[in-house]
Structure formats: structure tokens, C-alpha cells
Amino acid sequence: MRTKKNRNWNERGLLAAAVALLLALQGCGGGGGRAGDPLVGPSPGSGSSGGGGSGGGSSGSGSEPIKPSSTYAQQCAPGNMLAPAARRTASLGTEKQWLRAYYDEAYLWRDQVPQLNADAAAYSGSDVQQALQAYFDDLRTPQLTASGARRDRFSFMVPEQEWQQEMQAGVAAGYGLRWSMGSPTPPRNLRVAYVEPGSPAALAGLQRGDRLVTVDGVSADANDRTGVDKLNAALYPGASGETHNFVFTTRDGIARSMSLVSAQLNTNAVPMARVLNAADGAKVGYLVFTTHIQTAEQGLIDAVRGFSAAGVSELVLDLRYNGGGYLYLASELAYMIAGAQPTNGRTFEQLRYNARRSTENESTPFYNQSCLPVNGKCSTPQNLPTLNLRRLYVLSQSGTCSASEALINGLRGVDVEVRLVGGRTCGKPYGFSGQENCGNRFLPIEFEGVNAKGFGDYSDGFIPASSQPGTGVPGCQVADDLSRDLGDVREGQLAAALQHRLNGSCPPVSVQSQQARHSALPGLAISEGPQLRNNRFLGVR
């Protein structure tokens, strides 16, 4: 299911980009809905709520007012195998009506939703999931960022069971590795970035830096639809028990062939916490944090307690492969880093919804107590340990996204000095809580987040060693050094952070780190990984 979802996204990507560019040239507007619009139905005296060609109070075909989503909820198509059998009594059309109504109620840019013919062939057929995915994707705003990227490249849908497993239990199907991708189109330069201890990848002897040559006989740089589909299916298996045949070149230049069998794996979101002895005698903490899932909380608390006991006076936080997750965990970690003095009574992130939901705007504080959820509720909260640091080094690249960026922005909002070492972050100041319907969880962007200083405009990412107002962050541009293990003080980004804290200098900028992430030649794109790992969710708190 996941690979099909990602393939559908990529097939429409070029057309969507072209349409978005055309609309931008015609004057696509911004904003999240007008305060005077009714909750449902068309604006008084018009069939549209304006701004970016919205269908804003009309149905997908433009012929009927939009009714509340509750009118259509849990009325499922007979062919929707994700829905409980007892609910498969309606039609695909009813599910699409629910989806259009939910966009109208919840979407941050609800006034920019395109007018679509919901009965068009692209949104119909026997494959319910494919039809819903196509309709969901095409309801997104066509607005572009200043750099020309699509503003909403983050809204997504996922089977509810997968959501529950990965985000709450920390369990996901895979081999126990993270991929590093130079580009989704050839030449892709697909390499192993991280290996989970004890996983199928670790047991097979894979190491950080190993380069993918082929999988199931398909080149890592395949540029035909069949080949790209096979790559996606093998790189991101949708279930346990899948066997795929890989050929790698190790970072030492040796060719290796192996079969990997996917398994349901428990994610260790805090795989490394070390105390380093710096050249000036200071004790520097080094913490690898890979995803903001509920099971990460205890690992973060244990790591900070250990750093505090060891007398750590500086921290290097490695967020290179952390695409985000639950916002409350970012807030907790920010508090544990900064302590009470700069954060007491301050806002970690202000959440802003569309104008129809302005009464829901709220401030997320710096949480100073643990949550440790049980059955969806915080259990026996306890005071969090603190390091009371006024400066933080963050290792970053394009995989640093959403809740990870919120942590950076939130600390900067209370004048904790953040130094960024690595590459530009992904650029996602948005988030959602989502809604389940008929076995799918739908997550259109619902809110944007700003820090205590009111800043949140980083949709093109935070940029290390840049003077760009707002998004430029002091530090160093350094390529991800896949030739050495994480935690090795000679590894490029960690070494640069340790050097910068001593004398403020950076290593020479490599050609690789200067290149744009998507500067490869035009071609068919493969998936850049599960969407669940690159987001900012509300939950529990």
C-alpha cells in the first residue's frame, strides 16, 4: 500500500508542478480561509471563497454546497478492504464526499483547494485506495514557496493500522536501515545512512556508507516505470516477510550480494548517547535522535539524565535522519536542553489554523514534565531532567524535518543559541492531527507553527552558515560523511561541530554540500521514504 501511494504521488508530480507554476504565474494567493466564510456551504453571494481558485464552499463538482463531513463519515465503499466489513455499505463517491468536506473544514489552505470533478476517471475505478489517493493529492493547494517548491508537499494519507503501529507502538516493517539518497532521480547515489542494531540489515553485515548497486536485478538508477516500481517495493517493504535480493558495494569497495527479509521492527529512536572529551577538556554530549515517536520519550529522558550526571556543558544533537513526529516530544526535549530559566511561561510553538478554526489557535508550552502515555493519556507525569544549556549544535540535512525544525525554531524563539552544521533542512513549519475514515487516516496540513518571537516562515528550510533573514543559522555547511560511523569524532559533521565550538571556524565547503539535493538530470523519481517519518503531529498532550 505504501509503495503504491508513493508511486501515485511521483507519477503526478511533474504535471502537478506544471499546473502549480501556471497558477502561481496567474497570481495564486495565500492565507487559510476568510473569517467571514460560513462553516459549510458557499460564501454569501458567490460559489467560491476566493483565493487560489478554491472550491471553498462548493462540492467537488461545484454543483452542491459542502455538507459537514460527519454527514458522510464511516460510510464506505464495498471495495475498500481497509474498512470494517459492516461499514462497506455505501460507495466510493460517499468516501470522496467525506474527504472533500474534511478538507473544507480542516485544511490550512482551504480557500485554495482546486475545483475538481470528483467523478473523473482519475478518481474512480475498482481500486478504491488508488482513487482516494489521487483525489486526496489533487485537493492540495497549488501554491509555491519562494524557491518554487510546492508549498504543500507534505499532506498524505496512510492505512490506519500502519499509523497505529509506527507512531504509537514504534513498530514498522523494514530491514532496519535508513537510506541516504543524493537525488530521487538518476544518478541517485543510494547509500546506507544508518543501521538499527540487531535488525536484518545489521545481521547481514550492512554498514553506514554501503552503496546500492541493484535490487531484484534492477539497477539503483533505473529510469523506467517498471524498474522504479520494483525499486520502491524493495526499498520500502509494506509488510514483514518480504524477501528481496540486493547487491551493494561496501564503503571499502567490495561487492556484496545478499537477501534481506523484511520484519516488523521496534524502532529505537534514541540509538546513541555518548559523552565526548573535547580538545579543551570540556565534556560534550552527542545524541542521535531519529524520530519523534511515543516510545522515544524514555530514551531521551535517560540520555539527558546521563549527560547531566557526567557534567556535560555542550550538546551536539544529531537530527540528520529525524523527519519529525509528535510535537510534544520536541517541546519536552527543548525544555530538557534549555532548562527552566529561558522557557518558564514561554511559548514553544504557537499553532495557527485556518480562519474558520481561529478559535482553536493555541500555544504549545515548553513541557517540563514527562507524559509516558498509556492508553492515549499521559501517565504519572514527573519533572524532566535539564542541562540548562544556552547553546546547542544541531547536525542537519534535508531529512531534518517538521518536529525537528520546530525544536530548532522553538529554542531560537527564547534566545537559545542554535548552531547548524550540515545541510538545509526540509522546510515544514506545518502539522496536523488527522482523521480516520473507512480504514484510512487522512492528514491534510491543518496548522502552521510560529515560535515565541512570531517566526515560522521557513518553508524552504533552515540554512546553515547563511545570512538569509529568519532562516539563515550560524554554523557550517558540511556534507553527510558516510565514510565513517555515527559518533566517530572524525565523522565530517560531528568533527565540524567540535571544531566550531572551539574556534568558530568551519572546514572548507565541499562540492557535494554545495549541490542542491534535487540537481540531478530529469527522470523518474523514486520515493524518498515513508511519509510518517517526515511530519509534525498533535497527540496525547
Q: Look at residues 534, 538, 515 and name the one whose alpha carbon lies nearest to residue 178.
A: 534
How far is residue 309 CA from its own chain's centroid?
33
> Residue 317 — φ and ψ, nearest 5°?
-100, 115
Q: Look at residues 471, 446, 530 and name the one whose alpha carbon lies nearest to residue 141.
A: 446
Question: Which residues are CB-neighbours of 399 under 8 A, at least 6 positions away?
Answer: 320, 321, 322, 323, 426, 534
Cis peptide before 187 (omega within 30 of 0): yes
Q: Please report, in tens digits, the pLDDT of each residue of the chain (541 residues total).
A: 333 333 333 333 333 333 333 333 233 333 333 332 332 333 222 233 323 333 344 444 445 789 999 999 999 999 999 999 999 999 999 999 999 999 999 999 999 999 999 999 999 999 999 999 999 999 999 999 998 999 999 999 999 988 887 666 557 789 999 999 888 899 999 999 999 989 999 999 999 999 999 999 999 999 999 999 999 999 999 889 999 999 999 999 999 999 999 998 888 999 999 999 999 999 999 999 999 988 999 999 999 999 999 999 999 999 999 999 889 999 999 999 999 999 999 999 999 999 999 999 999 999 999 998 888 789 889 999 999 999 999 999 999 999 999 999 999 999 999 999 999 999 999 988 899 999 999 999 999 999 999 999 999 999 999 999 999 999 999 999 999 999 999 999 999 999 999 999 999 986 444 433 433 345 665 555 555 445 555 665 7
Q: Look at residues 530, 439, 536, 537 and name the one whose alpha carbon lies nearest to residue 235.
A: 530
pLDDT value for 65: 83
Distance CA 541, CA 385 (A): 19
DSSP H or E stretch at residue 211: strand 211-215
pLDDT value for 27: 31
State the DSSP string of 223-266. Answer: -SHHHHHHHHHHHS-SSTT-EEEEEEE-TTS-EEEEEEE-EEEE
Using the 8-state DSSP alphabet, how is residue 219 labeled? E
Q: Look at residues 300, 450, 478, 454 and name the one whose alpha carbon lies nearest to residue 394.
A: 478
- For residue 56, how many C-alpha atoms fall within 13 Å in the half-sphere facing its CB? 30
Task: Judge whether 100 and 60 are in contact, CB under 8 Å.
Answer: yes
State the DSSP string of 63-130. Answer: SSBPPPGGGTTT---TT-TTS-GGG--S-HHHHHHHHHHHHHHH-TTGGGPBP--TTSGGG-SS-HHH
